[in-house]
Amino acid sequence: MLSAQIDHYDPRAVFRGLLDGDNYLNRVAGACVYQCPRCRHQIRFRWRSFYQADDRSAFKGNLRRCFDDMTPALSSDEQGFLDFHCPTCSAPTRVIFSAHDYTAIAYHFDIYAALVGEGKQRT
């Protein structure tokens, strides 16, 4: 099923636990909590969720192409995304982030946006 609408959300609208600083915005520090804007289901993401994302998508065919078309190119060192379906309403969701290598063995992850498609209608 292809979502008819995909909405763009600022990270602060759908995530809790992000940090802001002089040289960054919306940084993942250990863990953060995503709240689905469609059904309010909450998902906790740890730092390693972004490290392990590796741009593997849970979406297939036209749905993946729609999300790819709506994903802006960031000017950061390394751009990534994390795709999933909300466990409650099945809304397809893409979290767009940038990864910044600050040592040979560690990264910082800054969330840029969340793209959220339509989920199942509540009855």
pTM: 0.88
Domain boundaries, the chain: 6-117
- Other beta carbons within 10 Å of 10: 13
The pLDDT tens digits for 2-58 are: 446 899 999 999 999 999 988 889 999 889 999 999 999 999 999 889 888 877 888
Quote the strand ranges of 22-61, DSSP E: 24-35, 42-46
